Structure 1
């Protein structure tokens, strides 16, 4: 993983207000259950669902990034963090409506810096 060629928040800045890893994991489990329980809820628009699913993916990617940072010798964690970061970046390139960061997902500087993109987006949401 490399740095983005522009100013982005460090992991320390992006995750400064983040809950503990355990609390974040528990929150993501609740979000997953809620998403699975109401797939056809007529009160939830397609755009609302896309937004909630995107925030869930952002949370998963950020949690994986934080775990990989906390245990840098566990390669499996880095691989998972990179895969989730790429998934988020790909999703945001297809539908950038719900992004919040300074630098757009289609910026070429994200190549090889996908986890940095996760940090930008997590920080921009103010978690």
Structure 2
């Protein structure tokens, strides 16, 4: 039995990501002109990045980051659009959904 791949660290997953303010502006500008999956992925990654230093007990920050990640997981589960090595319905994402968006963002960024 093989162990599922560990998600990349934020430093690795977001190594080539644009600065937060530029990505936020770009996402608002492109909202209707890029594929839905790409928008969901980039928006979820933005939320993850914005809250990397938030305290784990900060419910508002954590909820704000997790909501778009759950939408991405749901979308990928429904449409079979995951690009990383571990499927969106894998049990590890229930415990650590942020890992899923990091996996997917890293795979997406590598393809750009």
TM-score, structure 2 as length reference: 0.84
SS at match of 2:95: coil
**59-68 or 78-87: bigger deviation:** 78-87
Per the alignment, residue 101 of structure 1 pairs with 84
Q: Which residue of 2 aligns with 1:53?
A: 36
Question: Could you list the per-position Cα deviations for residues 62-99 of structure 1 after superposition, in whole angstroms to 9, with x for gaps in the alignment?
Answer: 000000114x1454222111111111101111111x32
Asked if 1:26 corresponds to 2:9, the answer is no
**Structure 1 stretches of 4+ moved >6 Å:** none
CA contact (8 A) 2:5 2:85 kept: no
The DSSP-based 3-state class of the residue aligned with 1:111 is helix
How far does residue 58 in structure 1 lie from its aligned partner after superposition?
A: 0.6
Q: 1:33: Cα distance to partner?
A: 4.5
Distance in 2 between residues matched to 1:114 and 1:92, nearest whole Å: 13
Match of 2:101 in 1: 118
Q: CA RMSD in A?
A: 1.7
Structure 1: where are the runs of 5+ without partners? Answer: 36-51
Question: Displacement of 1:104 after TM fit?
Answer: 1.2
Unaligned runs of 5+ in 2: none
